[in-house]
Amino acid sequence: MKKWYAVIGDPIAHSLSPFMHDYWFEEHGIDATYIPVHVQPFELENAFNAMKTLGVSGFNITLPHKQSIIPFLSKLDETAVVMNAVNTVTFNGRQYIGWNTDGDGFVRSLSAQPVTLNEKVLIIGAGGAARGIAFALKRANYKDVTITNRTYRRAKELAEASGSSALTIKDAELSLADFSIIIQTTSVGLAKDEALPISLENLSIGSLVADIIYNPLETPFLKAAQEKNCTIMNGVGMFVYQGAIAFEKWTGIKPDTEKMIEIITEKLG
């Protein structure tokens, strides 16, 4: 029988996940489909019960349900526990298990670049996205991770929780040349004409500078890094890899991420 998967969120119309997963199902000859479902917060429990009744094989969760889905699940994987947020649910025939593939998605996209585990990494931001990435970098054995954030207290808390170091924005700006991988995780850059979250004046030529934002493809932060002759990486890779990890959990198949990054980049370009 045809299997079905879903993504639930509010809003959901612009999600690229249905395109991506349907593409991979077709490519691998899997008889399944992936449906976007618009679920408002007050409908979440009913929506989950309906999906269970209708035999959903797995689903993704996006804003604003990543935390509120948790009480309905049978158990959480460690990736979801450290984030207190779920973006992927698997079903093993008895239990619905919550995972969070966002941080590992970013780290896989980073590891596809010519980087080593000994490089000094700077994360800008200390919110949910930064948290996922900080823990995923540690799981992947990156040795030297530092967090900086507008509100220093939050950088310090995340650093302590994830076994990383913390710097104020000012100190991070002064020592920016020490870092060969810089990851921008704040929402700065989503809106036009925002100031950069950190000055890139002291950036070393040839550093890898990443932004988790993928729409726009090139944020002012990445443009500034490119002007400093750095390699830039936008958030398309993170988006594709977080989906690829979910797809792998559901089907046991590793999909072609490189081709998908090209397709999505073209769609957003």
Find residue 59's DSSP bridge partners: 6, 89
Of positions 69, 76, 107, 126, contacts ligand ATR by CB under 6 A:
126
Please say whether the beta carbons of 259 and 243 come within 8 A: no
Is residue 220 reached through a cis peptide bond, with omega within 30 degrees of 0 on the bond before it? no
Does 187 contact ligand ATR by CB under 6 A?
Answer: yes
Of positions 3, 120, 138, 150, contacts ligand ATR by CB under 6 A:
150
Whole-angstrom distance, CA of residue 67 vs CA of residue 103: 16
212 annotated to a ligand binding site: yes
Which alpha helices (DSSP H) does 120-252 contain, by range? 128-139, 152-162, 169-174, 220-227, 236-251
Of positions 184, 186, 234, 251, contacts ligand ATR by CB under 6 A:
186
Does 128 contact ligand ATR by CB under 6 A?
Answer: yes
- Catalytic residue status for 228: no
235 annotated to a ligand binding site: yes
- Choices 34-42, 137-145, 147-155, 231-239 (CB under 6 A): range interacting with ligand ATR: 147-155
Secondary structure E strands in the chain: 3-9, 32-38, 58-61, 75-76, 88-91, 96-99, 120-124, 144-148, 165-167, 181-184, 208-211, 231-233
Whole-angstrom distance, CA of residue 5 vs CA of residue 46: 17
139 annotated to a ligand binding site: no
CB of 217 to ligand ATR, least distance (A): 18
Q: Which of 66, 143, 192, 267 is catalytic?
A: 66
- Choices 3-11, 14-22, 182-190, 219-227 (CB under 6 A): range interacting with ligand ATR: 182-190
Number of shown-chain residues binding ligand ATR (CB under 6 A): 15
Does 216 contact ligand ATR by CB under 6 A?
Answer: no
126 annotated to a ligand binding site: yes
Does 154 contact ligand ATR by CB under 6 A?
Answer: yes
Strands 88-91 and 165-167: unpaired
CB of 137 to ligand ATR, least distance (A): 15
Would you state the structure tokens that stand for residue 55, as one six-digit string? 């035999």
Residues 6+ apart with CB under 8 A from 187: 213
Whole-angstrom distance, CA of residue 30 vs CA of residue 234: 30
CB of 202 to ligand ATR, least distance (A): 18
Give catalytic residue positions.
66
**Interaction site with ligand ATR (CB under 6 A):** 125-130, 149-151, 154, 185-188, 197
